[in-house]
Structure 1
Amino acid sequence: MRTTLLISALAGLAAAAPHPQKIDFDEVLGEPTPTQTGPSVDAVSDPVDYNAAVAAASASAAVIADLSSGPSKRDVVELQTVEKRGDCAKQPDGYGPKPTTDTVEAFEAFQTFHNTANTAPTPQGYSLSFKDLSASVNANSYMGLYTFKTYDTIKCQQLCDSVDLCTAFNIYFERDPTVDPGTSCPNPPSFTNIKCTLWGSGVTKEAAVNDGQYRNDFHVVIAGSNGYTKDNPPSPIDGYDGPTRFGGAINAPLNAAGKNTYMGVKYFPGLYDAGKCAAACSANTAYNSRHPRADGTYDKCIFFNAYLLSKNNVADGTYCSLYTQQWGKPYDTNFGQYRGSDYYSVSSSYGFTVKA
């Protein structure tokens, strides 16, 4: 899908009226989505390896490729390949409590899990998004997994705070097999792992959809699942003033000179990363400078609005709207739109302006 950007050669054609700034579903739905939306079923560790600088470089290359009508370079997270051997190999120890009766029903009903989740402290700077669910989060913004010896929301919060762009975590009890289930060891005894997953967006009850999987004939289930989200702005970006917080997405009118300042949109499925929008803004200006109008002028990206786009309250990706001048309140009026029965909402909307 070619990025919806108005390059210099076409800008004059669009000057008579503002380009629609509602959500561009052609752009959103035309991007490939991340293939890993949570940890694999047998993972006990999946450290975060997201590199913001590499992601920004990839975003810049994708914009230039799109504007040049060449093949786009996509920033897609690849799913780790896990060999399902079923060889009865001993699995890493689980340290969580477990019911005396080793069944799925007993695990799900075990009161210790529910008591622990319901009394767990909410870390400072975070809000409780959901509590004591029987499912864990799956979303495009997955960052990594850690396994604990205790159900420790503060430790999970500290891991999130130590990682750039982490804005939420999900902690839960999981029923896992003691050995890798196979034909020689069908439905082995279980133990309890306590897992902490990190996310590059807020987590919601609607995103907690992983309510159990099978490893051969062994049923993995989840209990005591809590989600926590921190409300903090994106980090400052070199070369830009901001971030400036908005209530919704910018929907700018014609400027005082009667000109359209909207340059277009770039969308990045995955975690929320305003740095990708900055890369898109700079790349668009660089491209236009190399392809000016006949009179030598070209459009410069001066301002961008970055926000998290969610589908039915599940984080989807970073939406970047680019402009040739700065905008702010009271033009932050787009809070979301329906596409059929699906509702796409706007959150974490911030503006950045190129430094003078």
Structure 2
Amino acid sequence: MDSRKLDLGMNGMSIENGDNSIKVDEASLKGFDWSSSIKAISELAGLDDTEIETFPFNRLIPELGTIRVGGINVDVAAPEKSDEEANEETKGTPERVKFTLKNFEMGLTKPFNGIPTDITIRQDDLTLPIPADSSEEVLVEARKLGIESLALSYGLSAGWDEPNNNLMIREISFSGKDIGSVNFSGLASGFTEEFFPFDIDRAQAALFGLAGREVKLTIKDEGLMAKAIKLYSLENHMSEAEVRATLTLVANALLQQVAAEQPKLQNAVEALGRFISTPETLTVTAKSTGANGLGLLDLVAASDNPMLLLDKVDIQATAE
């Protein structure tokens, strides 16, 4: 810690009361910086009343840095219910709240006018047990498939490339253990400083200068398709092989029709067909072919017929 910056950390915390326990292996805050706040306060002190009225007070916001907690383990009694709630059906309601969390991280850095221009939010392996007596339909079906717990993760990472006025979406992802994952990334141009003042009108006007350049979608199957086929076969008294064959047949027929009507989608259709037949990894990229990218007006014009965008983008797909 110095006069304007702060880093702090904690290793090992445990709170116990009878059978209830909350444990945290580590927690930290890094990069908290109030240099910009001090500078703004100094400038504010020298202003008269008229100048203060137009001062951008968002500049007083410090750089928040990165917060991280890891190794969370919670096992506590469920909150007591009111009399009204207690009279309702409670079958399958867990008597205890149990979960573990491997890691959670939130970074809000590189502020411009007090607003973070680089954001990272990540959660790794939030594990929730599925109660054996749960009455929730989704959880009941999960237990039928042998799933006794859910381990979920997500991520968000984006930043402003100020020199080039680009918005870089590095990652928007969701994943589940033994299920699979979805990951989206992209690039948009025309992302200027007009998005950063606390002025909604200016930000809305700046939207018309924003243009999509490239997007990428990656889907990984790590058991979801197999579980869905197994569940469908159980409910419809079919073998898994029969379900898979029917799914492949119907999907191929529909995809061939799409390819016949939209030849530019031939590559994507073939990749999707392979992914359905042997689901592993499907990657789809779409790049704007125009010098100005895809703007808001282009998207509005194609809202009734998205196929109009095919003349303005190059779509490629692979299945591995």
* The structure with more radius of gyration: 2
Q: So what's the TM-score if we normalise by structure 2?
A: 0.23
Structure number with higher strand proportion? 2
Q: So what's the TM-score if we normalise by structure 1?
A: 0.22
Of structures 1 and 2, the one with the larger relative CO (CA 8 A, separation 6+) is 1
